[in-house]
Structure 1
Amino acid sequence: MPKNAKHLVVSKTNSLIEATYHLTLAEQRLLLLVIAKIDSRQELGAGISHTITTDDLASAFAVPRKQAYELLRDAAERLYGRSVIVHRPDAIDPNKDYTLTRWVSTVDFDGSRGEVSLFFAPGILPFISHLRREFAQYQLIHVARMTSIYAIRFYELLIQWRAAGSREVLVEWLRERFDLQDKYTSIRDLKRFVIEPAVEQINAHSDLWVKWEQRKRGRVVEALIFTFGPKAESKPETQADSPAKPKPTLTREYVQQHAQPGESWEEAWERLRRKHGA
């Protein structure tokens, strides 16, 4: 169990949870770790740096320390080039359609110390700091073991409606928010590569159980309906007595052969590592 994630809490405005963006698994983890380490009750300035070390990443997400800085550095470099669209960003001014901003404005790298320092872009600060209303919180540990980028986002969409225990999401709305563009254009592929793995990982790793069904208009799947709630405490499962299968060596060739559509090499490596306990 990732020990440093146990007491870290992620806080985001609802509009940021429902924003349009795409991040790799490594980028999501870096961003969530930074957000969880700040005090969302305080007002942050654009000139404040937020430092993440290899130890932070390794202990929060069970990443091997010898590879942690490389993953940290690559994630920070990619995150620097990413943008996000926040829809209806201002509750006071409902006529404002959306805000387009970057996540970070500057990244400093220090390989000798094994750390990177991020400076949030001014446009993103209102959605992660000085939060007073319309925001959601959850413990980082509940997503720390997820390897699907969509599982993390689905989990955030569900906890917004935690009190209701159900949420209906239009398929086209979901595709836009997840920035799928021309990926998984058929509902069959969307279910296979996005919805089903996400639900499986939420059920396996988070504090929620979730079930889902689809709603059709004619023959077209128009919406997805999620029913969910907190898990009851359960007894540890016992393993059947069976010969252990040899663990595969996660070479670059093996990872490339077993990567799922849309996965980066890093995401596939992390998923396979957790699957096989390598």
Structure 2
Amino acid sequence: MENKKGGDLICRRPETIVEARFSLTKKQNDVLDMVFASIENDDNLRYEIDISKYAKLYNIQDKSNIYGDVKKTVRTFEGKGFSVTQKISEKKENRIYFAWFSSINYLGGEGKIIIELGQTLKKLLLSAKKACFYQIKYPINFTNIYSKRIYYYLKSFEDTGWRVDNLDSLRSKLECPKSYNRYADFRKHVLTPAFEEINGESDILFKYEELKTKRKVTGIKFYVKTNKPKTPNKDSIKFPVETAEEEVSATLIESEEENLIKKIMFIMQDSNITALEAKKIIDTANGDIDIIKEKYHIVSQIKKVGSVVATMIDAIKNDYQAPKGKANVAKGSFNDYEQRAYDFDELEKKLLGWDH
């Protein structure tokens, strides 16, 4: 077994668990992360978890409810478990069911959890040949359950940089409801929230490609790379200084603004804009990321652009609209390019860097 890297706030989640099919809520996954961060390669089956160590990781002002939420969540593990399929031969498989814990108890007044693992389960967790390591502070702050589940999947493939999933199999692993069988709903409620949260609030960046069979999406190819978020301090963002008026004091940049800048730079990655240029666009749009996406849809279709940033700012200020059909336009104007019908699915893929 590999040892946990970086201390007890680093979680080791075995690939066996990452790939297993089970339904846990966001809060249940939080508790499970605390458990995985506590398990050691020792003879113990019983572990004590101090909630105070993890409470400080939540990015919320009022943390008074955390202990009560954990206490309620502990009770919900009754009768919860998961199954693992082990391949014996090409035609034979073993399916084993595990209860998560032999016992789990919240110590009222102490803010601690006492968990006891079954011996076979612990052996399974420790013997996994592959596992992903991550800082708990990232998934513990995701608000969408699918962000957490996709994050675990992608972290396990961070070293290879990509993974491919059959769409039906992916929906099953993520425990999606039947209403998400329609791809548009799956993308809206699963992929889009995960894309926004993981790329903006974690240590990895990802994009995805829709794999089609006869024009129908039947698979997803994920591309993932390491991101190194920086703590907000005077060096957190390096802005190029063009003139004295344009110099931005990094000490005034708050974490929320920094994340928004990262999102815009990722959205416009084909244009290789700087952090300062991203900030100018954000300021022009009054921080409205939807307006920025909309105008970039349009600007990205212009055949010849002297300055993408200047055009984006002008598009936001003057509310450029996507052209419909062919029209006679004046030479030299924004609309001085071939008009055509828009395939907004393809545009979105281009916007987010998914076209290959």
> What range is the shorter-chain TM-score in?
0.7 to 0.9
Structure 2 counterparts to residues 149-188 of structure 1, below 5 A: 149-188=145-184
Structure 2 residue matching 1:144: 3-state secondary structure: helix
Residue 99 (structure 2) pairs with residue 98 (structure 1): no
Number of aligned residue pairs: 234
Residue 227 (structure 2) pairs with residue 231 (structure 1): yes
* TM-score in terms of structure 1 length: 0.73
How many angstroms apart in 2 are the aligned matches of 1:94 and 1:50? 39
1:20-62 Cα shifts (integer Å, max 9, x gaps): 01111111001101211222xx1455xx332334423421324
Q: Report if the CA contact (8 A) 1:6-1:139 is conserved.
A: no
Structure 2 counterparts to residues 135-150 of structure 1, below 5 A: 135-150=131-146
1:178-233 Cα shifts (integer Å, max 9, x gaps): 22253422111111111111121110111111111211111321101111211266
Structure 2 residue matching 1:79: 3-state secondary structure: coil
Which residue identity lines up with residue 107 of structure 2 in the other structure? D
Distance 1:16 1:132, change over 3 A: closer
Distance 1:50 1:142, change over 3 A: same
Instruction: Determine which of 70, 73, 76 is the counterpart of 1:72.
Output: 70
> Which residue does the alignment assign to 2:344?
none
Distance 1:177 1:122, change over 3 A: farther
RMSD: 3.0
Residue 86 (structure 2) pairs with residue 85 (structure 1): no
Which residue identity lines up with residue 120 of structure 1 in the other structure? L
> Which residue does the alignment assign to 1:259?
none
> Which residue does the alignment assign to 1:266?
none
Distance 1:193 1:183, change over 3 A: same
How many angstroms apart in 2 are the aligned matches of 1:62 and 1:205? 11
Q: Report if the CA contact (8 A) 2:26-2:148 is conserved.
A: no
Q: Report if the CA contact (8 A) 1:61-1:144 is conserved.
A: yes
Which residue identity lines up with residue 108 of structure 1 in the other structure? N
> Which residue does the alignment assign to 1:276?
none
Structure 2 counterparts to residues 188-199 of structure 1, below 5 A: 188-199=184-195
How many angstroms apart in 1 are the aligned matches of 2:181 and 2:161? 28
How many angstroms apart in 2 are the aligned matches of 1:186 and 1:44? 48
> Which residue does the alignment assign to 1:35?
36
How many angstroms apart in 1 are the aligned matches of 2:11 and 2:155? 12
Gaps of 5+ in 1: 245-278
Shift of 1:66: 1.9
> Which residue does the alignment assign to 2:15?
14
Q: Using the aligned pairs only, state the percent identity.
A: 20
Q: Relative contact order, CA 8 A, sep 6+: which one is greater?
A: 1
Shift of 1:160: 2.0
Shift of 1:13: 2.3
Structure 1 residue matching 2:49: 3-state secondary structure: strand
Structure 2 residue matching 1:128: 3-state secondary structure: helix
How many angstroms apart in 2 are the aligned matches of 1:94 and 1:134? 24
How many angstroms apart in 2 are the aligned matches of 1:116 and 1:96? 35
Shift of 1:94: 9.3
How many angstroms apart in 2 are the aligned matches of 1:19 and 1:85? 7
Which residue identity lines up with residue 128 of structure 1 in the other structure? L
Gaps of 5+ in 2: 1-5, 230-235, 238-257, 262-278, 288-356
Distance 1:153 1:67, change over 3 A: same
> Which residue does the alignment assign to 2:299?
none
**Bigger CA drift: 136-145 or 25-34?**
136-145
Q: Report if the CA contact (8 A) 2:16-2:128 is conserved.
A: no
Distance 1:9 1:241, change over 3 A: same
1:148-172 Cα shifts (integer Å, max 9, x gaps): 2211221221122222211111111
Q: Report if the CA contact (8 A) 2:204-2:228 is conserved.
A: no
Q: Report if the CA contact (8 A) 1:15-1:87 is conserved.
A: no
Distance 1:43 1:201, change over 3 A: same
**Bigger CA drift: 16-25 or 48-57?**
48-57
**Bigger CA drift: 216-225 or 111-120?**
111-120
Shift of 1:109: 2.7
